Amino acid sequence: MQILGIDVGGSGIKGAPVDTETGQLLAERLRIKTPKGAEPEPMAEVVKQIAGFFQWQGPIGIGFPAPIKSGLVMMAANISPKWVGLNADDLFTRITGSDCVMVNDADAAGLAEMKFGAGQGQPGTVIMVTLGTGIGSAIFYRGVLLPNTEFGHAELNGMDAEHYAADAARQREDLSWKKYAKRLDLYFKMMEKLFWPDLFIVGGGISKESEKFLPLLTITTPIVPAQLRNQAGIIGAALAAQRLA
């Protein structure tokens, strides 16, 4: 099945057609900067622009940086508060003219990694953590997703963990990799004590530089970079749309 996958981020909105049987992108992805303020209508117009670029007329899966329940946006951390309580399924469907299915962005990345990437065939508990503008989380037990976890908002050093340990914090404070790894170590040790997982997978754009910080971590749980890198969110959004269609 072919589905247009969209990965909505705090800094950019990316998309490409996906073959959901193989996990392959069917064209080079298109990235457009997230509109200032990250408000509903402008962001939906960007998704429409991406769909138009690919001349897309089929279903669209959209990974979104918020908990999603039956298409409703439940909270807003790195996007406009105007999203809260909005039926995003309906908004994107109306503006794009295609059937759109929403899914939390970290859940989308996790779905892709579990089917085609680093989590493939992994038993037990696997936690996907995406590091970007914020921190996203996706938890799987025996391959089954527990949706809409928000462990980027767990308290760490008296603040939201993502304000302390997201890649945006590293860039904002111009941290060295060594100093940033110390922050990540605290975060993953907290997650380790809460869940005792069998594997951590680190995703987000920063995963392509994983050799600079993963070896500096001192946790006991195996931790690996996402294999699908910045394509995971796109592929997973398409998988979610296929599953929910």
Tens of pLDDT, residue by residue over 228-245, are 988 999 999 999 999 765
pTM for the full predicted model: 0.93
Average pLDDT over residues 154-168: 95
The fourth-level CATH superfamily of domain 2-107+232-244 is ATPase, nucleotide binding domain (3.30.420.40)
Does the domain spanning 121-226 belong to CATH 3.30.420.40?
yes
| 121-226 has the same fold as 2-107+232-244 | yes
pLDDT at site 11 = 85
Q: Residue 25, by phi and psi: left (phi above 0), alpha (psi -120 to 50) or beta?
A: beta
Residue 88 and residue 75 in contact, taking contact as beta carbons nearer than 8 Å: no
Instruction: Using the predicted structure, report yes or no on whether residue 151 has a pLDDT greater than 90.
Output: yes
pLDDT at site 245 = 59
**How does the average pLDDT of the chain come out, rounded?**
95
Instruction: For the chain, give every domain's residue range.
Output: 2-107+232-244, 121-226
pLDDT at site 244 = 63
Instruction: Using the predicted structure, report yes or no on whether residue 140 has a pLDDT greater than 90.
Output: yes
Instruction: Using the predicted structure, report yes or no on whether residue 192 has a pLDDT greater than 70.
Output: yes
The two three-digit tokens of residue 109, written as one number: 């990345």
Q: Any residues with CB less than 8 A from the CB of 173 and at least 6 apart, and which?
A: none
pLDDT at site 230 = 82
User: What is the band of 46 on the pLDDT scale with cuts at 50, 70, 90?
Assistant: very high
